[in-house]
Structure 1
Amino acid sequence: MFLFEEIKMKLQAQCPDLIKGVETIEVTVVPPRDNYVYALKGTITIGDQEASVYIAFKKDFPIRKPDIFLEDRDVFGFIPHIETDGFICYVHEEGLLLDQDNPFGIVKDSLARAIRTLEMGVSGDNYDDLYNEFEVYWSRQKTKIVVDCILSLGERVKEIYVLYDPKLHRPVFIFDALDEKNIFYAKNLFHYNILDESIEKQKGIYIPLREGTILLPPSYSSPWGFAQIKDIIFSNITSSNKRELQRILKQKRIYKNTKEYILLSVPQPNGYHALVGIELSEFKAKKELKNNKSFQHPLIKVQSDFKLTPLVLKRHHPSYLLQRTIGYNEIHNKHIAVIGLGAVGSRITMELARAGVSKFTLIDDDVLDIDNVFRHELGSERLYFFDQKQHQLQKVPKVYGMYQELKEKYPLIDVEPKVKNILDLIREDIHQFEQFDLIIVAIGNPTVERYFNRVVRTLTNPPPVIFTWLEPLGIGGHALLTLNNGKNGCYECLYTNPFDPDCALYNKASFAAPNQFFGKMISGCQTAFTPYGSMDALQTAILATRLALSVLTGKEKDNPLCSWKGDSTDFLEHGFKLSKRYELTTEQLNNTRYHYKAQQCPICGQDGGS
């Protein structure tokens, strides 16, 4: 305890401008937010008002910062960043760097930050935080129900569905349509069959408040009453939404066992929208209407007493979840084709799904094999399925394995699996490739890739195409973009030799010198493969995915050749030779990413562009 006593004495002697009357108190006095081992109490001044604060220390101090509380939570009124127990949220833990060799400095700085947070709240400098963190403050109400919700916010009033579990005595899932996606989502995630008639489904109302609405969340000591909620709704919706709301309400009748749900979309200064709700339950007709079997919805006329419970909504919609990542909402509706679902293609697919792409067509005629699992996005659980007709295990096509993986992790994604050879698809109808916003080719067969590069350019409206491939033994990987913004540069450029058109074909992007065979066989010709590690495939997938996102978001204006270069030790130890291009630095590879283009390229050389 000597450390804490020393900190107390330094606060008393050196920081009278920050805190006065510092004394040791029992840790039991402090709100039980953590297992504190020591606590101090003192007086701070904000403006001309004094307030008592607690400084509480965890056992891991000074690796962890001290917690600071207001003794009286409401001493400065309802201001941002004060929790219900008086805790002052003065700094975020994530990314916080503490100088553990200066414990007193940590305490002094923490106290100064806490005081600054209070000063900004009292002066109104951070008042927007109350609006922008509307959902956070709403969730701090004492009586509340937490409900999972998959709801697309819109500008129109609409009816919604509420799944109620009588065993749990609460709503468990809110959605806006009885469609295939929501049915799958509820079954996959919550194990509810929402089409089952025994599952209780009720209808609620989604009400978006008009843009520009300025609405503070309810304070901890003054929760909203229904009259206030009703006034907020009808004072802050458009005239068209008011008409639609009244139409819906007139069709509703309230009964004794009715539960009614209202969800509000609240605009925030930061451009986002909070989503909160209420449950109305335990309806009891007023005395003058006690003989009525039903009565009007309270939003039309209050003819009953009822219980009001706040709903805290755990939002599952991708457009909301992507805000919590570096996700790209602008690519949400893009349609991507991935040709080749091997070690690279499978990972690209998964990373694009995580980035926000919601529609995929997956093309591969190969099955997942045990030889693949240590380099593939899919594991051994996707190797087999039981064929009921033939009564035996069958290997799973890679596209079906990826379909299952994607739908289990991200049920709202649209995935079309095609167990097809790319050459067969080209013969069937080359024009089907015009439907995509981007095509990614990761088949590792340069002959087929050259052919695809040739035929895709015969389309009237070809989408951008990324070719991506790995080099052996970890020396690198590549991703080449073509057909972007009408610029020249294509896969064939890599095989075009302007000085000797009759020379042997060689990919000039390669880090390996020409005329070498890298295939490895473990037990015969049928087991031949190019040796590379899982991390090599992952790094190439990351390279290609970043390029794909740059294309989809419009950041990339041209057709670059992107490459990453790895360690050559294993490659050289196997007796192989490196190319001149391997000698380039990472900076040089980036600076020359457009220099691969061949003016004499028979495929794109006359296309124009830079």
Structure 2
Amino acid sequence: MADRKAASRLLIHDALKQRGFERAFDAEGGPAYVGLLDPSVLKIPISMRVDDIDFVEYPQIRIDPDYPMPARAVPHLLGLDRSICYYGKGSVVLDRYDPGGTVLQCLDQAERVLRDAIRGRSDADFAEEFQVYWSNTFVYVDLPDGYVGPARLQAAALDRKDGSSALVVSSGRSWLVSDLERVQRGEPSGDPVIVVSVPDPVTVAASGSWPPKTLAELNLWLRRTAPALVGRLEDVLRSKDCLSATVLVRAPNGLFCYRISVPQHLRKPEFLKNRRSRLPEAMERQASGTPLDRFIGVRADADYLFGRNLGSMRNLVDKRILLIGCGTIGGFLAQQLAQCGAGAGQGYLSLVDPDVLTTGNLGRHLLGVPYLGRNKAEACAEFLLEQLPLLAIEGYPGDARTQKLPWDRYDLVIDATGEEALSLALNERAVRSRPAFPPHLHVWLLGNGAVAQCILTGESERACLKCLKPELAGPPRHRAMRPGASLETISNLGCGDAEYLPFPVSRSVAAASLACELAIDWANGNPGNRFRSLTLDGRRAFQVQDGSPTSVHACPACGGGA
């Protein structure tokens, strides 16, 4: 490894020497190479550092701080150190096996980017990179998609270590703010915000001071790039009895926020009460200017959280789901359902399980040591609410058959118990209660986690769970286990551990994922194959084709759908 690194360093050195670069040290005292980009025309002095010879991180190329840049903003320059953004992160895979050619490739690309930037050919790129130029401070935005109008800027304690974060909400309420915080602060709390929308991307003004640091500079920039926003900040400041005002801009290229606070010497009744309408003008006329705060908006609303990763697919928001069994499959399935929106909006997620978490569960369960001795359903609900407090999730200890639950009000019931007798009892109840009961989705593992399977039932012409194996001692309709495949069981009675089937946690997660996929398809109105099978151990099990089996007359539960 050391020899390869040394050889790579030598090839890099030789390639840069041939390009006219010399070894040196950069402003941070680190090893670098210095030379010229576009040596025949622009002659831009730069330094280049190649810290990562695996080229996972692109070599750093900086313009010399003494080089006189044009009196205009230049795209693709990041921060005060004049680093050149010549490739977007992850956009190009560099060849680690040709280190000399790779550094020359980077130099050539940086030269092309910088030449176009300085000559104004890539000013349109400002809009795409606007976040980089605007701020490196973030504010969370919990607003309905497309919302415009009044809002509040609050503080929310999201991180136990880092303290509070800034949050924009429309009604003074957000799932990111606990009820206790609301009571302590009172409502409405926070500073006033006006949320506005513009049809075109906001971008950098190539000429003039950038970024705007005062109210005067802000208005100069707005007149050039978004004239409709001129005066909106002042309107908030005039009309509200507050010490700061904020504008949140919805643009096609992102959410951008700016805030101004009344300086200390103007926080007097003369201005705050009697001359409130003149306050913005007094702030803008100050010789030093009133400092402006800038933020990047980060969406934190439920639609974004649960819809972002599904694209055009529907999520589980507004769905009422009952999950029975919060063990090795059900715990992970509960988490996946929650991350897909179960419990959000008008929906809720109910969890039922009679068991408590023991040390034997920790190797393949969602929950860990802090929940030992707790009921699994209640503990899972508590864990998920800590991660996603906007959801409506409740845990119920005990047997699902004796729980007083509104079965007919659920949209979907999921059985993840993995206990065949209980699953058949739940299936029987569902069949006998058609059509009043919702569809049932059963998920289980066969063998030592060799196969994960699930089935969605509820349609009279399609198979119920018992239809997959009409006779208890008979063969299944869809054979999965290979002949002679042994079933390993372990009984550690001396350790207080009941008999169990050993298999790794990966099998539990795979089964949960299989069921979650079917639940998502159901929510989108097209379940597709109602019976699905995933072989995880080809030595013990066959590959079983997915499908939608019909009911069978020999089924003692549904009698062929009757």
- Residue 282 (structure 1) shift: 1.1
AA matched with 1:408: E
Which residue, out of 405, 413, 421, partners 1:439? Answer: 413
Q: Which runs of 5+ in 2 are unaligned?
A: 1-5, 158-162
AA matched with 1:174: L
Counterpart in 2 of 1:471? Answer: 446
The DSSP-based 3-state class of the residue aligned with 1:183 is coil
- Residue 111 (structure 1) shift: 2.0
Identity between Structure 1 and Structure 2 (%): 18
Which residue, out of 243, 247, 253, partners 1:263? Answer: 247
Counterpart in 1 of 2:465? Answer: 491
AA matched with 1:522: N
The DSSP-based 3-state class of the residue aligned with 2:363 is coil
- Residue 5 (structure 1) shift: 7.5
- Residue 607 (structure 1) shift: 6.8
Counterpart in 1 of 2:177? Answer: 183
Counterpart in 2 of 1:593? Answer: 546
Q: Deviations over 1:35-59 (max 9, x none)?
A: 63121211317xx962515242234
Q: Deviations over 1:425-478 (max 9, x none)?
A: 4x7643132xx3x43210112233234334435454765542111123232221
Matches of 1:26 and 1:218 in 2, distance apart?
35
The TM-score, its normalising length taken from structure 2, stands at: 0.77
- Residue 347 (structure 1) shift: 0.7
- Relative to structure 1, the CA distance from residue 80 to residue 364 in structure 2 (aligned partners, 3 Å threshold; closer, same or farther) is farther
Matches of 2:187 and 2:147 in 1, distance apart?
30
Matches of 2:398 and 2:251 in 1, distance apart?
47
Residue pair 1:487, 1:558 contacting (<8 A) in 2 also: no
- Residue 160 (structure 1) shift: 0.8
RMSD over aligned CA atoms reads 4.5
AA matched with 1:82: L
AA matched with 2:473: A
- Relative to structure 1, the CA distance from residue 450 to residue 78 in structure 2 (aligned partners, 3 Å threshold; closer, same or farther) is farther
The DSSP-based 3-state class of the residue aligned with 1:539 is helix
Is 1:559 matched with 2:497?
no
Is 1:39 matched with 2:33?
yes
The DSSP-based 3-state class of the residue aligned with 2:454 is strand
Is 1:207 matched with 2:195?
yes
AA matched with 1:375: R
Residue pair 2:154, 2:168 contacting (<8 A) in 1 also: yes
Residue pair 1:253, 1:296 contacting (<8 A) in 2 also: no
Matches of 2:538 and 2:462 in 1, distance apart?
32
- Residue 526 (structure 1) shift: 8.0
Matches of 2:476 and 2:396 in 1, distance apart?
29
Counterpart in 2 of 1:535? Answer: 506
- Relative to structure 1, the CA distance from residue 461 to residue 98 in structure 2 (aligned partners, 3 Å threshold; closer, same or farther) is farther
Matches of 2:370 and 2:312 in 1, distance apart?
31
Alignment map for 1:348-427 (pairs within 5 Å): 348-357=333-342, 358=344, 359-383=348-372, 395-425=373-403
Equivalenced residue count is 528
Counterpart in 2 of 1:302? Answer: 281
- Relative to structure 1, the CA distance from residue 106 to residue 174 in structure 2 (aligned partners, 3 Å threshold; closer, same or farther) is same
AA matched with 1:479: C
The DSSP-based 3-state class of the residue aligned with 1:467 is strand
Counterpart in 1 of 2:154? Answer: 162
Residue pair 1:147, 1:172 contacting (<8 A) in 2 also: yes
Residue pair 2:77, 2:83 contacting (<8 A) in 1 also: yes
Is 1:69 matched with 2:71?
no
Which residue, out of 473, 487, 510, partners 1:504? Answer: 473
- Relative to structure 1, the CA distance from residue 277 to residue 293 in structure 2 (aligned partners, 3 Å threshold; closer, same or farther) is closer
Residue pair 2:138, 2:166 contacting (<8 A) in 1 also: no
Q: Which runs of 5+ in 1 are unaligned?
A: 16-21, 188-192, 384-394, 497-501, 569-577
Counterpart in 1 of 2:160? Answer: none
AA matched with 2:193: I
Counterpart in 2 of 1:387? Answer: none
Counterpart in 2 of 1:331? Answer: 315
Counterpart in 2 of 1:390? Answer: none
AA matched with 2:130: F
Alignment map for 1:453-472 (pairs within 5 Å): 453-456=427-430, 458-460=433-435, 463-472=438-447
AA matched with 1:263: V
Counterpart in 2 of 1:574? Answer: none
Matches of 1:82 and 1:455 in 2, distance apart?
66
Matches of 1:83 and 1:601 in 2, distance apart?
71
